[in-house]
Amino acid sequence: MSLNPNSTAFMAQAMHSETPQRETFHKFFECWICEQNTYLEELVSAANNHSDNQHDDAVLIPLISRVVKHYERYYQAKSTWEKHDAYSMFTPTWRSKLEDAFLWIGGWRPTLAIHLLYSKSGIQLEAKIGDLIRGLTTGDLGDLNQDQIKRIDELQKKTIREERFLSEKYAKQQESVADRSMVELSNAVSEMIRSDNGTENDIEENEKLVGSTLDAKKDGLEELLHMADDLRLETLKAVIDILKPIQAVHYLQAAAELHLRLHDWGKKRDANGVTTAAHSRGNGVEVTT
């Protein structure tokens, strides 16, 4: 595997850094996504060169394992940064506005992993419907058997239940911004600002109180992020476990393609938006995108 040794070393160093920072995670993400592109090339090659025999399946298993570990490393690193700055994970600078629009608790919805499977399965089924009618097996996601479909359906129902549970916890976290402690604190600080007669000790005490109150909110969000990330990774692994090796390769290829292309499209739209806004201001017209 031809991964960049410098990026791999940086990923290892970044994950064990004692002073992780938001910008450092941005760099980690860029390294990680470059490696995802390399894995995508391996997955495409494996899918194109696969023949229907047990030897080829055995060759695929180590590749699948490496790709899943790549996802695990991402969530391990993310967990480290969440402990230092959970708030930034809800407004990630390393993602585009397009990607932000589809985020759920700092990442993709776990059920998206199953929707992706159904979509890719449908596409491959339509492409080889003639072979299936003649009783031939295609080996890809268009060839899911009844047992697999049943297990996928059960996984989807389970994931939906867990998503709803986390969505309710997230709603409570959001509502807590207007709880009694926050309203009392915002009023006390506002009164001090209006009166303009707070002593230095008063200001310092208020700052400590603000810090401790917001830290309590951060702890709740951090716990929620960990739970959401665990469910994301757990769902991905559960899907892979249901699939045959070559099917898992096709699935991981589709997942990487969707992630990488969405990231590319979003970055281009953001860049074009900045260019358009600058050009419009130069012509005396303000345009927001």
Give the tens place of pLDDT for each residue, 255-282. 999 999 999 999 999 998 755 544 455 5
Q: Is the pLDDT of residue 13 over 60?
A: no
Q: What angle do CA 88, 90, 85 make, to 5 degrees?
A: 30
| Mean pLDDT of the region 90-116 | 93
In a domain, 287, yes or no: no
Range of the domain at 89: 5-282
- How much is the pTM? 0.82
Q: Is the pLDDT of residue 215 over 50?
A: yes
- Of the listed ranges 155-164, 233-242, 272-281, the least confidently predicted one is 272-281
Q: Note whether 44 and 251 are within 8 A (CB).
A: no
Q: Is the pLDDT of residue 125 over 80?
A: yes
Q: Which two tokens stand for residue 155?
A: 């996984």
Q: Is the pLDDT of residue 194 over 50?
A: yes
Q: Is the pLDDT of residue 225 over 80?
A: yes
In a domain, 289, yes or no: no
pLDDT of residue 245: 95
Count how many domains the chain has: 1
Q: Note whether 256 and 43 are within 8 A (CB).
A: yes
- Distance CA(132)–CA(128), nearest Å, equals 7
In a domain, 288, yes or no: no
- Distance CA(279)–CA(251), nearest Å, equals 42
In a domain, 203, yes or no: yes
In a domain, 241, yes or no: yes
34 or 287: which leads in pLDDT: 34
